[in-house]
A and B are shown apart, each in its own frame.
Chain A
Amino acid sequence: MAETSEPLPQGNLGDGLVDRLRAALRLKPRKPTYLFYRHSIPVRALHWINAICLAVMLMTGLQIFNAHPALYWGTSSDFDHPILSMTAQGTSDNFRGVTQIGSWSFDTDGVFGASDTDGVKTVRGFPAWATIPSASPNLALGRLWHFAFAWLLVINGLAYAAYAFWSGHFRRELLPKKSDLAGIPHEIVSHARLQFPRGEAARHYNALQKLSYFIVIFVLGPLIVLTGLTMSPTMDSAFPFLPWVFGGRQSARTIHFLMAFSFLGFFIVHMAALIASAPLNGLRSMITGWFAIEKETKDA
């Protein structure tokens, strides 16, 4: 792509100081960059509200889970055969946390099943650092926060969807194109090598980014909301197809839990990709909107 005729703002962070430091350390001079307005104000605001909501939802959700730290499949709870459970085994003054997945059992003492709350060893599913409030059991407060932020999360998500469709953000930046799909194998290899698009290619989301955002927005998001609603007995009376679709209320609870950890997995990959590619540039673009793009030079 040719340079535009308009002068573009310089994109390197810490102009002057960083360049002088690099010169002093005899590092290669930075490539010249220009700033590209990557994220609009609505996208940035909704992104950060979403980030806060997801963190509160996950941590209050784990507090709620601690009230009965076991998952089942079907309509009712088969207490003797949970899919997953976090329990404590031993005597009341000498116990260890144990996690069971199906018929496998692991010692997860100190993290799952039993861990310290304010220095006192407690029987609890998830540990104090993972739950809001940190003390457990505190189901009443966990529910209060979870259901309040659920409204915020859904309103924020709907606002994002409305904006994305109305502004063309979805069609332009998120909808995978045929060429994107063909490029996926190549991108898996380059991502595995921690090689990220540079220059003009960095102006657009690549196929893996589009695919993961697409899955989060259209699969994880709706599924976690619908399975959450399925756990509500009143919603099941209004929409009896909800528990039917998910194979029962306990299945819905299990899917809800899996979706929550899929969101956590997305967050971890999201952070890893940010740190491995261009952490400051990426963070700045989500705060100020501006993303620095390396100018493509003829000799490059």
Chain B
Amino acid sequence: MPDGMLRRSFLGRGAAAAATLALAGCTGIADAPWAVSLLGEVENLTRRAQRLFAGGHALAPEFAKADIAPVFRPNGTLNPGTNDYAIHMSQNFANWVIPVEGLVETPLKLTLADIRKFPARTQITRHDCVEGWSCIGQWTGAPLAHILALAKPKPEARYVVFYCADPMGAGDVDSQGNPIPAPFYYESLDLLEATHPQTILAYELNGQTLPVEHGAPIRLRAERQLGYKMAKYVQRIGLVDSFARIGGGKGGYWEDQGYQWYAGI
């Protein structure tokens, strides 16, 4: 091998090695547990600061019918794909019952007919995905504040947890080879966000019955939050004082994967 080529390949390899080291260093710090937990504390600062300005009831901007996107992009689970869900689909969700339970004085079991009988709110809002895109749609549903008022949260209740019908992924196998079922999607809001006037259990999108890819028969809308907070296929609602013992303990499926629980930004 001529000298020049040898030197070039050596320099090339050296540069590549240096670059790899630098990148490894960056990634090493970027996902180091101490850095993640330190920076994670900032989330509380962000939440407090945003609440200082937005308070409990500042409304997300609403739009005109003309602003509605021709196609509202579905994201996340497009069909839960379970046998149970398929049966509900075939029955047009006639037997879909949502219990409201946990730290409440009056546990409820809500059928779709019950929810549709509650005073409805229709809002044309901007949906903001954590990925960065936005889409405008018109949602109709029952304000969660109304439902919570019926259930009467106990004084110690702090969060509303939404348990969903869609399993995430294909599941896993433990060390003995026994299948571990995939976790189901879940999400949570604190009572302030849960009782916000625009937080609704939606059953219509753009004047039509909520389609399967958008979370039929019931999905949450929390208009001051990012899309992943707005649980689809809501099957059960629980009031809790802490989500430490639910799922991965972070208050939601994506939170368990490292996303922030407070998704106002």
Q: Chain A nearest CB: distance from B67 CB in Å?
A: 7
B128→A233 contact, CB < 8 A? yes
B50→A144 contact, CB < 8 A? no
A68→B36 contact, CB < 8 A? no
Q: Which of A67, A75, A135, A237 contacts B63 (CB 8 A)?
A: A75
Given contacts A79-B133, A133-B30, A233-B128, contact A144 B39 (CB under 8 A): yes
- Size of the A side of the interface (Cβ < 8 Å), in residues, is 41
- Size of the B side of the interface (Cβ < 8 Å), in residues, is 47
B264→A234 contact, CB < 8 A? yes
Q: Mark B111-143, 1 if CB is under 8 A from A, else 0.
A: 000000000000000101111111110000000
Is B260 part of the binding interface, using a Cβ–Cβ cutoff of 8 Å?
A: yes
A234→B54 contact, CB < 8 A? yes
Complex Cα–Cα for A231 and B27 (A): 26
Complex Cα–Cα for A238 and B51 (A): 9
B61→A240 contact, CB < 8 A? yes
Complex Cα–Cα for A139 and B132 (A): 10
Q: Chain B nearest CB: distance from A256 CB in Å?
A: 10
Nearest B residue to A131 by beta-carbon distance? B26
Spot the interface stretch: A10-18, A145-153, A190-198. Answer: A145-153
Q: Mark B1-39, 1 if CB is under 8 A from A, else 0.
A: 000000000000000000100010011001100001001
Is A143 part of the binding interface, using a Cβ–Cβ cutoff of 8 Å?
A: yes
Is B40 part of the binding interface, using a Cβ–Cβ cutoff of 8 Å?
A: yes
**Residues of B contacting A128 with CB < 8 Å?**
23
B50→A234 contact, CB < 8 A? yes
Given contacts A132-B26, A233-B126, A249-B126, contact A75 B134 (CB under 8 A): yes
Is B73 part of the binding interface, using a Cβ–Cβ cutoff of 8 Å?
A: yes
Most A CB within 10 A of own CB, among B51, B131, B226, B260:
B131
Count of inter-chain pairs, beta carbons less than 8 A: 130
**Residues of A contacting B265 with CB < 8 Å?**
147, 231-235
Is A272 part of the binding interface, using a Cβ–Cβ cutoff of 8 Å?
A: no
B132→A233 contact, CB < 8 A? no
Is A180 part of the binding interface, using a Cβ–Cβ cutoff of 8 Å?
A: no
Complex Cα–Cα for A144 and B33 (A): 12
A238→B53 contact, CB < 8 A? yes
Main secondary structure on chain A at its contact with chain B?
Answer: helix
**Residues of B contacting A243 with CB < 8 Å?**
61
B40→A144 contact, CB < 8 A? yes
A139→B58 contact, CB < 8 A? no
Q: Mark A128-166, 1 if CB is under 8 A from B, else 0.
A: 110011110011110111011001000000000000000
**Residues of B contacting A134 with CB < 8 Å?**
23, 26-27, 30
Q: Chain A nearest CB: distance from B128 CB in Å?
A: 5
**Residues of A contacting B43 with CB < 8 Å?**
144, 147
Is A40 part of the binding interface, using a Cβ–Cβ cutoff of 8 Å?
A: no
A76→B136 contact, CB < 8 A? yes
Complex Cα–Cα for A135 and B20 (A): 12
Complex Cα–Cα for A121 and B68 (A): 38
Nearest A residue to B255 by beta-carbon distance? A140
List residues 225-257 of chain B with CB under 8 A from any CB of chain A: 225-226, 254, 257
A238→B50 contact, CB < 8 A? yes
Is A64 part of the binding interface, using a Cβ–Cβ cutoff of 8 Å?
A: yes
Q: Which of A232, A240, A249 contacts B50 (CB 8 A)?
A: A232
Nearest A residue to B61 by beta-carbon distance? A240
Is B60 part of the binding interface, using a Cβ–Cβ cutoff of 8 Å?
A: yes
Complex Cα–Cα for A133 and B132 (A): 18
Nearest B residue to A69 by beta-carbon distance? B132
B53→A148 contact, CB < 8 A? no
**Residues of B contacting A135 with CB < 8 Å?**
27
Is B69 part of the binding interface, using a Cβ–Cβ cutoff of 8 Å?
A: yes
Is A261 part of the binding interface, using a Cβ–Cβ cutoff of 8 Å?
A: no
Is B59 part of the binding interface, using a Cβ–Cβ cutoff of 8 Å?
A: yes
Complex Cα–Cα for A253 and B128 (A): 12
Q: Chain B nearest CB: distance from A180 CB in Å?
A: 38
Is B46 part of the binding interface, using a Cβ–Cβ cutoff of 8 Å?
A: yes
Q: Which of A68, A79, A140, A250 contacts B258 (CB 8 A)?
A: A140
Q: Chain A nearest CB: distance from B25 CB in Å?
A: 10
Is B224 part of the binding interface, using a Cβ–Cβ cutoff of 8 Å?
A: yes
Q: Which of B42, B129, B254 contacts A151 (CB 8 A)?
A: B42
**Residues of A contacting B129 with CB < 8 Å?**
68
Q: Mark A156-182, 1 if CB is under 8 A from B, else 0.
A: 000000000000000000000000000
Complex Cα–Cα for A147 and B135 (A): 23
Is A218 part of the binding interface, using a Cβ–Cβ cutoff of 8 Å?
A: no
Is B223 part of the binding interface, using a Cβ–Cβ cutoff of 8 Å?
A: yes
A147→B126 contact, CB < 8 A? no
- 4 closest Cβ pairs, A-B complex: A234-B264, A140-B258, A238-B54, A133-B30
Other A-B contacts than A133-B31, A145-B30, 13 sampled, CB-CB below 8 A, are A75-B63, A76-B136, A134-B26, A139-B130, A144-B36, A144-B39, A144-B42, A231-B132, A233-B60, A233-B265, A235-B264, A236-B60, A237-B60
Q: What is the interface of chain A, defined by CB distance below 8 A to chain B?
A: 64-65, 67-68, 70, 72, 75-77, 79, 128-129, 132-135, 138-141, 143-145, 147-148, 151, 231-240, 243, 248-250, 253
10 contacts between A and B (CB under 8 A): A76-B67, A129-B19, A132-B26, A133-B27, A134-B23, A135-B27, A140-B258, A151-B45, A232-B264, A233-B226
